[in-house]
Chains A and B, each alone.
Chain A
Amino acid sequence: MIDRDMNKLNNPYNDDKVISACSLFGMMDVSGKVFSGKDIIRAIANMHVRSNGLGGGFAVYGLYPRYADYYAFHLMYMNKQARTETEDLLKENFHMVLAEEIPVNPCIAVSNAPGLWRYFLEPEAASLNGRPADDFVIEKVMQINTCIEGAFVFSSGKNMGVFKGAAYPEDIASYFRLEEYAGYLWTAHGRFPTNTPGWWGGAHPFNILDWTVVHNGEISSYGINRRYLEMFGYACTLQTDTEVIAYAVDLLMRRHKLPLEAAVSVLAPAFWEEIERMPAAKQELHRALRTVYGSLLLNGPFTVIIARQGEMMGLTDRIRLRPLTAATRGDMFFLSSEESAIRLVCPELDRAWIPMGGEPVIARLGGTKVVAEGAVAAAKGAC
């Protein structure tokens, strides 16, 4: 079925995988109020030196309220034929409510820009044949990405969207006119890859359904993470750590229905010695998670911001080899590679703190603001 090697686009030198370092930023209004991309663009630009102009991108949630019940597909087309073929496939399998070109600012100098289109889709009941719609959507995304030459789905969730490309994030933002959009949750990424693909699909965030992942670091367990996911039918077409993280989260949380806390303990588990000091029931859970899902442990340095509808989480590896700062101000919740980027857009914070390695910080819509936090201590007077 795979007659097109996505990897060749993203990884022209056929490295084991694409290695990249990065800057991350995430901001969310837990009351659900939407805001423009203005601040996050400034914040990610403040960490310009952490990326090298070969990748930048944004994810926005609460983006398409008018079409909130439809899967929003964002597509990159390298040629006209790709669009024709893709639209045929989409029409065959989905009810298409709207198809339009994603508006861009042609005055922004970016190279290798593909054709950019978006579609609002509902799977045809007949095509679903009783299967969960999400599984069907994943299958179609993989089909387009691996079978249609020159087409790439880079966003496929509902009421959210990814915008990305091969340039500095602030230029990508201007190109996609992101200051004109509004959402209640934004994540951003500036990339420093160690090859020069110049291919837009390789930028972060990586997306599947409404999961997005932005990531800083290199996962030295990538080889086995990937082989494990392949056992469950995930085709790792891009050969990036980020893709693997997105699939891992999809497998653990959507398909195996693990609560977020348990999924996090798979990705960044406690040390065996610590597990032995836990109370009996907790010990049993953590031992089981590590024993069964050991192949999904993300080893090596990483910080990730994982988001889905209504939720944003920051997590670092268990010996914290990459940085993450979290902060709150009223209903706003921030995650960033560097505190200065947060201060740029929100100089006065209620709290700013550095979470412990391997301990997630999570913000959810409504209810409590930050439901789990790895703050080392109350950041007394630090703000």
Chain B
Amino acid sequence: MTGKEPTSPAVTARDSVQIDAAGLTTQQLNDLLRRAVADGIKKIELRNVCGQRYIGTDLGQPVEIDIYGTPGNDLGSFMDGPRIRVHGNAQDGCGNTMNHGEIVVYGHAGDITGLSARDGKIFVRDYVGYRAAIHMKEYQERKPALVIGGTAQDFLGEYMAGGTVIVLGMELKPGEKHRARFIGTGMHGGAIYLRGEVEKYQLGKEVGVKELDDNDRAALGSLVGEFARHFSYEAEALLQGKFIKLVPLYLRPYGRLYAYG
């Protein structure tokens, strides 16, 4: 997009604004967001978003942003605090290296959703593309979570080093299996809770399958509860059926990789 002169945000309440993003460049839009947050705005509604990137990236405040349209790549990348709701689909890189905050997608999200996220939560109603939660990691109290209502494409949880991924398999028809291959390949931390069938060959070789214990059920219940509230589902229905827990078999999966000399 070539950009147009941004119009002033329409103030819709004391601390809320609505911004028409049609025709704005990424920089123009994010500049408007920065200014709104600097002005103490707490709630922002973005209309006609169409491919603008990095929305929410450097706002550093727990503002609420509702996005109508299709935000561009790297939505909420490096984000530290905002809560974003996407009323549509998210493109690639959603929640890239997110530090804190929340992204809720009322649709599907593209590739590398939650790449290297260190904290915060991402809820995707439908499915995610390739390499979701790749290298997601936890540190001290920081623990990221990605909850996916549908299914995932290949390399879900690749190199995953921490955090929680939940796949609810809601789009699967009876008897239909998840299609993702190489699930948890190279995983060495965190947990993936998965409802719906997968074959052994779909799992990475560093991944083990476990039954859930009470702690798992508590963690699952809490995150699925939040997911259900976002998308108006019955949490209990979402928790029915068999979940498996995928965990790394080894903390150091590549112990025998090297010869020293």
Residues of A whose CB lies within 8 Å of any CB of B are 45-49, 170, 273-274, 277, 319-320, 323, 325, 338-341, 343-344, 352-354, 356-357, 376-382
Are B92's CB and A323's CB within 8 A? yes
**Which residues of A sit under 8 angstroms from B102, Cβ to Cβ?**
none
The listed residue (B1, B51, B126, B130) touching A357 by CB distance below 8 A is B130
The majority secondary structure among interface residues of chain A is loop
Q: Interface size class for chain B?
A: 35 or more
Report 19 cross-chain contacts, Cβ distance below 8 Å, ordered by A residue.
A47-B51, A49-B26, A319-B130, A338-B51, A339-B91, A340-B51, A340-B70, A343-B70, A343-B88, A357-B154, A376-B151, A376-B153, A377-B127, A377-B151, A377-B172, A379-B108, A380-B150, A381-B126, A382-B126
Q: How far is the CA of A274 from the CA of B110 in the complex (A)?
A: 24
**Which residues of A sit under 8 angstroms from B130, Cβ to Cβ?**
319-320, 357
Q: How far is the CA of A338 from the CA of B70 in the complex (A)?
A: 9
**Which residues of A sit under 8 angstroms from B107, Cβ to Cβ?**
381-382
How many CB-defined contacts (below 8 Å) exist between A and B? 94
The listed residue (B26, B154, B201) touching A277 by CB distance below 8 A is B201
Are B150's CB and A377's CB within 8 A? yes
The listed residue (B1, B126, B201) touching A46 by CB distance below 8 A is B1
- Say how far A149's CB is from chain B's closest CB, in angstroms: 38
Closest to A375 in B: B127
The majority secondary structure among interface residues of chain B is loop
- Whether A45 touches B1, Cβ cut-off 8 Å, given contacts A344-B51, A380-B171, is yes
Q: How far is the CA of A341 from the CA of B150 in the complex (A)?
A: 24
Are B129's CB and A343's CB within 8 A? no
Are A273's CB and B201's CB within 8 A? yes
**Top 5 A-B residue pairs of the complex, sorted by shortest distance between their CB atoms:** A340-B51, A377-B171, A340-B70, A382-B107, A343-B70
**Which residues of B sit under 8 angstroms from A343, Cβ to Cβ?**
50, 69-70, 88
**Which residues of B sit under 8 angstroms from A48, Cβ to Cβ?**
1-2
Decide yes or no whether B72 CB sits under 8 A from chain A: yes
Q: Per-residue CB proximity of B31-52 to A under 8 Å, as 1/0?
A: 0000000000000000001110
Are B71's CB and A376's CB within 8 A? no
- Whether A354 touches B108, Cβ cut-off 8 Å, given contacts A376-B179, A380-B171, is yes
Are A46's CB and B108's CB within 8 A? no
